Structure 1
Amino acid sequence: MPTDETVVETAAEAAQEFVFSRLRRSDVDDLDVTVTFEDGVLTVDVYVLAPDVDEDVETIADDAALTAQSAVDDLFSE
């Protein structure tokens, strides 16, 4: 059983990796990934500020949160 800290770190890393797989670091003015894991409930919020890109930044943020949740699911299935 992973620790709460491991769950939070896994989710945060997965979200950041996803964002930077879609956007160049130099294009991102601000990235905030907030992860909580309390009483077995995972909450992931991702905020990306990248005003000069043509991508749908909101969709990237949403997909990053989903990727983080999936990474935690994988962690528990190991």
Structure 2
Amino acid sequence: MEPADDEVVRTAAEAAEGLIFSRYRRSEVDDLDVAVTFEEGVLEVDVYLNVDDEEAEQVAEDAVLAAESAVDELFAEAEE
């Protein structure tokens, strides 16, 4: 049984935020927006991260990848 759309969105958002806060303290993050949609089997993840760090863009990209990976794992577990 496939996971519900809201579970997919929640899983992706939690994974993205989890990765970001594993690399930065909350006090270091000036602004964060994680936008996730899952419609008709298509996952879209957009991460905006405002941190005073030259690696912030890479961390945001890594957060998107973490979200996608978490959703892949969610679907793999559902197939078992």
Provide the secondary structure at the position in 2 that maps to 1:29.
Answer: strand
Q: Which runs of 4+ in 1 moved over 4 A?
A: none
Provide the secondary structure at the position in 2 that maps to 1:2.
Answer: coil
Distance, in Å, in 1 between the alignment partners of 2:25 and 2:58 is 16
**TM score, norm. by length of structure 2:** 0.92
CA RMSD of aligned residues (A): 0.8
The one-letter code sitting in structure 1 at the alignment partner of 2:17 is Q
**Equivalences for 1:1-78 in 2 at 5 Å?**
1-51=2-52, 53=53, 55-78=54-77
Q: Which runs of 5+ in 2 are unaligned?
A: none
Shift of residue 24, structure 1, vs aligned partner: 1.1
Q: Percent identity?
A: 62
Distance, in Å, in 2 between the alignment partners of 1:32 and 1:60 is 13
Distance, in Å, in 2 between the alignment partners of 1:31 and 1:19 is 9
Q: Which runs of 5+ in 1 are unaligned?
A: none
Shift of residue 8, structure 1, vs aligned partner: 0.1
How many residues in Structure 1 have an aligned counterpart in Structure 2?
76
